[in-house]
Amino acid sequence: MIVCRPDSPIGVFDSGIGGLTVARALMRHLPHENILYFGDTARVPYGVKSADTIIQYAIEITDFLLERQVKLLIVACNTMAAVAASAIRARSPVPVLDVIEVGALVAAHRTRNRRVGVIGTLATIGSGAYDAAIHGHDPTIAIHSQSCPLFVPLVEEGWLEHPVTLLTAQEYLAPVLAQTIDTLVLGCTHYPLLRPLLEAVAGSDVCLVDSAQTIAIHTADHLTRLGLLNPGAGPATHQFCVTDVPQRFQTVGERFLGHPLAGVEVVKW
Amino acid sequence: MIVCRPDSPIGVFDSGIGGLTVARALMRHLPHENILYFGDTARVPYGVKSADTIIQYAIEITDFLLERQVKLLIVACNTMAAVAASAIRARSPVPVLDVIEVGALVAAHRTRNRRVGVIGTLATIGSGAYDAAIHGHDPTIAIHSQSCPLFVPLVEEGWLEHPVTLLTAQEYLAPVLAQTIDTLVLGCTHYPLLRPLLEAVAGSDVCLVDSAQTIAIHTADHLTRLGLLNPGAGPATHQFCVTDVPQRFQTVGERFLGHPLAGVEVVKW
């Protein structure tokens, strides 16, 4: 039996450590919430795996977090959101929010000229999940998508404002910006770290939808409506479960999280 | 029982498709040889996995290729060569060549000033395997290593002579070139595709050791000495086994191979 209490943690999960940008936004917007983060670092990347495998992995992580009594699940990984969100919802007795649903909702409401750009990994863009979700809100919106395979390695290298990254962003965004979009969805958990650079390339006429930030705002709203907001008598606890400790885990993780990464537990399956 | 015959295939294996550069070099140097390539595309990348897991996977692939009666095994993956070469040799009744052993041998013989640079992935450089192998030939050689995490995604994006790649190479190679090396080992199967660009950045005083090319030459030599060179009455057969068909497999694979990729068999384990 699942008992949801205000002081139960929010479960955030990702195929790796990119979802730490979501954890970071949650910590900023909801400083009293306890957070349990799960990163499947042993099996990352999910983007190249079959749908059946991704669903199986997502279910395993869902069960793990539910056993730890989370009150809400946040699917921070775009690939999992694209492929496994309905399977996770079918499995979970607690509410589930995912980055694609929230990003699409915000983009559909923000655009004025109904021309939206979406950038993401090959897997996310190839899935068409953002197109479907945005069209679910307004089928007349024109969507211009672009996969940006180099952004994840550039972020992991820490080249957030490097000339190489600027040149790469100019090349990737050129065809999307040529479509006079007014809204650009950052459809990957790594991209919020490139936000200043992407804003400079996209220009002030384009509004960026940062899914980490938007999902944090939606989570606050959701918990308030459910009466599950933690009143915050004591300090919040933040715990991080990973399935392996890959190369540069600490360095890259702290870059994503924006502060020292402590409370890491390695889960061996 | 293993029966090695001249018309048995050479088994080439890699964690993914990067090893196709090795297959390509073999086809050029040994046009009469039958080749069976194995790419573990479902489980790539190996670089972030534990040594135990990498050894287990390497043994599985070794057994698979031995069952198909290969006469020689070539470990094209630097990570597998760094971590699992001795386990593979212990398992295999047929000769085993690996990219690190051959690259190190050639570098140790080519350098005149005994200052060698090695570039590779984080996993390969972090393993110190090239250092150990080069020092096995000559412990007085000074080795200057540099991991280049962006080169693999840049190659997979096809930006082989792109300004972004040039700028990236200049940045990565600057500290290595500052050590006045005269020999640079390309310690990753993806890097031969960047050879023209890397030659331009390194300058004409630096000799590049391309492990795909060097292992093809060593294979020819090895087979000749063993009396196992295929006399080549008929056309050679080239077969490619992969464990999954990832995004852009065909495009990227053909870029690595240098010609159309046919004869692909998906092996499900």
Q: Which domains does chain B have, with CATH numbers?
A: 10-98+213-266 (3.40.50.1860), 101-211 (3.40.50.1860)
pLDDT grade for A4, boundaries at 50, 70 and 90: confident
Report pLDDT for B269. 75
pLDDT grade for A2, boundaries at 50, 70 and 90: low
At residue A61's C-alpha, the angle toward residues A92 and A253, to 5°, is 125
B48: which chain A residues are within 8 Å (Cβ-Cβ)? 41-42, 44, 244, 246-247
Q: How far is Cα A130 from Cα A104, in angstroms, rounded to an integer?
A: 6
Contact between chains at B122 and A247 (C-beta distance less than 8 A): yes
Instruction: Pick the catalytic residue from A77, A148, A207, A241.
Output: A77
Mean pLDDT of A117-126: 93
- Sign of the Cα torsion B5, B8, B13, B17 reads positive
Rg (CA), chain B: 18
Burial call B60-78: b when 16+ CB within 10 Å, e when fewer? ebbebbbeeebbbbbbbbb
Q: Does B13 score more than 90 pLDDT?
A: yes
Each residue's pLDDT tens digit, A28-48? 999 999 999 999 988 888 877
Cα A250 → chain centroid: 19
Would you say A229 and A26 are in contact if contact means Cβ atoms under 8 Å apart? no
Chain B residue with CA closest to A167: the answer is B164
Mean pLDDT of B155-172: 96
Q: How far is Cα A256 from Cα B77, in angstroms, rounded to an integer?
A: 30
Mean pLDDT of B95-115: 97
Compute the count of residue pairs across chains A and B with CB atoms less than 8 Å apart: 58
Report pLDDT for B42. 84
The mean pLDDT value of chain A amounts to 94
- Taking the CA of residue B157 and the nearest CA in chain A, the distance in Å comes to 7
Each residue's pLDDT tens digit, B167-211? 999 999 999 999 999 999 999 999 999 999 999 999 999 999 998
The mean pLDDT value of chain B amounts to 94
Taking every pair of Cα atoms in chain B, the longest distance, rounded to a whole number of angstroms, is 53
Mean pLDDT of A107-134: 96
Which helix or strand (DSSP H or E) is residue B10 part of? strand B10-14
Mean pLDDT of A232-246: 86
- Residue with the bigger pLDDT between A260 and B171: it is B171
Mean pLDDT of A166-190: 97
Report in angstroms the alpha-carbon separations of B47 from B62, B125, B129, B247: 18, 11, 13, 19
Mean pLDDT of B146-175: 96
Global pTM? Answer: 0.91
Percent of chain B at pLDDT exceeding 70 = 99
Contact between chains at A123 and B164 (C-beta distance less than 8 A): no
What are the tokens at B158? 């096809």
Report pLDDT for B46. 85
A160: which chain B residues are within 8 Å (Cβ-Cβ)? none
Each residue's pLDDT tens digit, B222-231? 999 999 999 8
Each residue's pLDDT tens digit, A69-91? 999 999 999 999 999 999 999 99
Cβ count near B3 (within 10 Å):
7
Contact between chains at B150 and A154 (C-beta distance less than 8 A): yes
pLDDT grade for A1, boundaries at 50, 70 and 90: low
A44: which chain B residues are within 8 Å (Cβ-Cβ)? 48
Between A158-162, B92-96, B104-108, B247-251, the lowest mean confidence (pLDDT) is in B247-251
Residue that the structure tokens 């600027």 belong to: A166
